[in-house]
Structure 1
Amino acid sequence: MSTLNSMVVFEFILGKNVCMKNTSPHDFFSPVTPSSVIGFVGIGNMGFAMLARLLDQGWPCASYDIDPLQNRKAQEAGAQLVNKASDIGALCRISFVVVVNADQVRDVLEGDHGLLTTAQAGDVIYLCPTLGPVDVGQFAQRALGKGVHVMDSPMSGGPVRARQGQMSLMLAGPSHILAQHQPLLDAITTQCFVISETPSDAAKTKLANNLLAAIHLAGVSEVLAMAQAWGLNAQTTLDVMQASSGQSWIGQDRMQRALNNDFAPRAHTCLLAKDTRLALQACDELKVSPPALGQLATQQFEQACAQGFQEMDDASLFLQAGGKPLSGL
């Protein structure tokens, strides 16, 4: 086999490194460095936090979003703005898609102005929304038909932890790409969890986590509202729970905000409602019996949305359970 043919084979199998300056196959193994523009499609709460963290550490970034306010924030932070997702595909060899649901992913990947219309063979797209595993697998398969790798990479922890580099990032995809991108991933967060090399496995892990988070949140909301109805001081009760066997991270985070009458959305109620539905849907698709508590938590979130809390922070489950904030009354 000629040298040229050997290089073509290496490119197909390994994917062309974004920082490569020549045609040497050895460049395919070089760690990525902050010398190429990292793309972001979707810079809402989480996407902006990730982008801002990379910019702070010297990684040049470009971004696209439909929200003018977020675009202005990104530009002020130092990002290069583009007009459509396909511009990210043309400009960036590594991109992060940080939108909300499968329909939005389909649009920004495969729509008329989607990333895949301009992406090059060997490009890598990190798919960060919480999605069903079947959808993730299908997106990855169709992208691979164009020579583009989709890395299944849902995240958890909220925008504050994302900005601090402490969110959880679950990863499923080719191990050689993860190794090559380790400096970039380290710049984003210290909490990376490699699940497997199979896109959809990280999605399953995220749905399992979020269903448990919903169970915790529904439970603590009802119990704290109950304690308040018993005549107990809700703040003292929450403090005891967090120092005792009833402790949970999401309980502490959300219930403290609820008691402070702070329902500004960090994580919208409708998002965790969507995630719980996706978890139960995955059970159906994978022919696994759904957990009973998960079904109950899903119902609680559906009721909260029906009562008008869908655009509020998911701490609103405390209100849905009959709880009363301690301030701002």
Structure 2
Amino acid sequence: MKRVGLIGLGDMGIGMAKNLLKNGFELTGFDLREERLRELAQLGGKPSASSREVAETSDVVFIMVLNGQQVKEVVLGENGLCQHLKPGSTIIVTATIHPSEVKELVQPLSEAGINLMDTPVSGGKSGADNGTLTMMVAAKEEIFKDNKTILEAVGDKIFHVSEEIGIGQTVKAALQAYIGTTFAAIFESLVLGVKAGVKAETLFEVFGSSGVSSPLFKNCANLIMERKFKGTGSHIGTMYKDLGISMNMAKENGVAMFTASAAYELFRSGISLFPDEDNWSIVKLLEQIAGTEVSYEPLEA
């Protein structure tokens, strides 16, 4: 069985670590936060002090950090994976970054004899915790097949979207445009209905039974009505970053993004007001403008 490394033990990474260990993989992990390293040790994984240590004890390494600059530092930096992984090893980039950023890794890794899998994921913290992530894999067919068992430890919907590195991130950027605009529509429609006199519970029941019902809607609307805006595993900064990638890709390809650009501006306003909260906090901005609140009505005494 291959030895696995994981760099980035945030909400997503620690959930992936749990499932890799559950499936019997020997796991070494690294994060800048000591508390996350302690959590990994409690799960049965081996904490390390650097990316270099992960490289020296792993055959396959997942990278689940926040942005492209961090990915490049992990791979190409002084203590990076490119210098310290043995030839024939594989790097799986599950972080969401710009397609051009993952493409920058191709040549140096190829020269070092290291395989690369461009594999962003969707499903959020619950998907990471439950091992049910959707994975968009761009990699050579033989590399994909050789590592599929490892992917199956953390995901249950695994799509081999291309052999061309960058296509995985391209699919994810298009998906995030869809998700971001969906969030904006949910926020606005709930505020509209409540302001016009409809109970939030009624809107939830009707919307949730209609053609637009989805786990995304039900989770989002329920958290809004429960007024849970922190610690739900979907930080507003992550979605804002992802929508920025989508908008940059649209500009590069000459694609008009009317609704996605509006969603991006809404998230920009939201992150200014609620920088430490989760995606659903944006509804509070719309509530302030409308003078209403989307919440469960208290039970009568």
TM-score range, shorter chain: over 0.9
Return the offset for 1:245. 2.6
TM-score of the superposed pair, with normalisation by structure 1: 0.85
User: Which residue identity does 2:111 align to in structure 1?
Assistant: G
1:328 and 1:55, CA in 2 relative to 1: closer, same or farther beyond 3 A? farther
1:240 aligns with 2:206: yes
Would the aligned equivalents of 2:4 and 2:59 in 1 still touch at CA under 8 Å? yes
- Alignment deviations for residues 144-190 of structure 1 (CA, whole Å, 9 cap, x no partner): 22111221000000121222221101100111011111222222222
Among 288, 293, 298, the residue aligned to 1:324:
293
- Which residue in 2 is equivalent to 1:98? 64
- Which residue in 2 is equivalent to 1:82? 48
Would the aligned equivalents of 1:38 and 1:95 in 2 still touch at CA under 8 Å? yes
- Which residue in 2 is equivalent to 1:133? 99
- Which residue in 2 is equivalent to 1:272? 239
Among 225, 239, 263, the residue aligned to 2:229:
263
* SS across alignment from 1:63: strand
Return the offset for 1:140. 2.4
Return the offset for 1:328. 11
* SS across alignment from 1:131: coil
Would the aligned equivalents of 2:119 and 2:138 in 1 still touch at CA under 8 Å? yes
Among 243, 249, 252, the residue aligned to 1:282:
249
User: Which residue identity does 2:25 align to in structure 1?
Assistant: W
Would the aligned equivalents of 1:39 and 1:62 in 2 still touch at CA under 8 Å? yes
292-301 or 182-191: which moved more?
A: 182-191
- Alignment deviations for residues 236-269 of structure 1 (CA, whole Å, 9 cap, x no partner): 2012101113324322211211110111231111
Would the aligned equivalents of 2:250 and 2:257 in 1 still touch at CA under 8 Å? no
Would the aligned equivalents of 2:119 and 2:135 in 1 still touch at CA under 8 Å? yes
Would the aligned equivalents of 2:200 and 2:296 in 1 still touch at CA under 8 Å? no
- Which residue in 2 is equivalent to 1:112? 78
Aligned length: 293
- Alignment deviations for residues 257-299 of structure 1 (CA, whole Å, 9 cap, x no partner): 11101112311111111111111101222x2313211111111
Distance 1:64 1:328 in 2: 45
Return the offset for 1:325. 4.8
Distance 1:124 1:207 in 2: 23
Matches within 5 A, 1:35-74: 35-74=1-40
User: Which residue identity does 1:185 align to in structure 2?
Assistant: L
Distance 2:35 2:132 in 1: 25
Among 199, 209, 216, the residue aligned to 1:250:
216
Among 153, 158, 161, the residue aligned to 2:127:
161
* SS across alignment from 1:311: coil
1:77 and 1:232, CA in 2 relative to 1: closer, same or farther beyond 3 A? same
- Alignment deviations for residues 169-212 of structure 1 (CA, whole Å, 9 cap, x no partner): 11001110111112222222221011000110010100111110
- Which residue in 2 is equivalent to 1:193? 159
Distance 1:310 1:114 in 2: 31
- Alignment deviations for residues 98-129 of structure 1 (CA, whole Å, 9 cap, x no partner): 00101111221111222222112211000011
Would the aligned equivalents of 2:190 and 2:294 in 1 still touch at CA under 8 Å? no
* SS across alignment from 1:171: strand
User: Which residue identity does 1:300 align to in structure 2?
Assistant: L
- Which residue in 2 is equivalent to 1:181? 147
Among 248, 261, 270, the residue aligned to 1:304:
270
Return the offset for 1:143. 1.7
Would the aligned equivalents of 1:136 and 1:199 in 2 still touch at CA under 8 Å? yes
Among 134, 137, 140, the residue aligned to 1:171:
137
Distance 2:170 2:102 in 1: 10
Distance 1:310 1:239 in 2: 30
* SS across alignment from 2:104: helix
- Which residue in 1 is equivalent to 2:190? 224
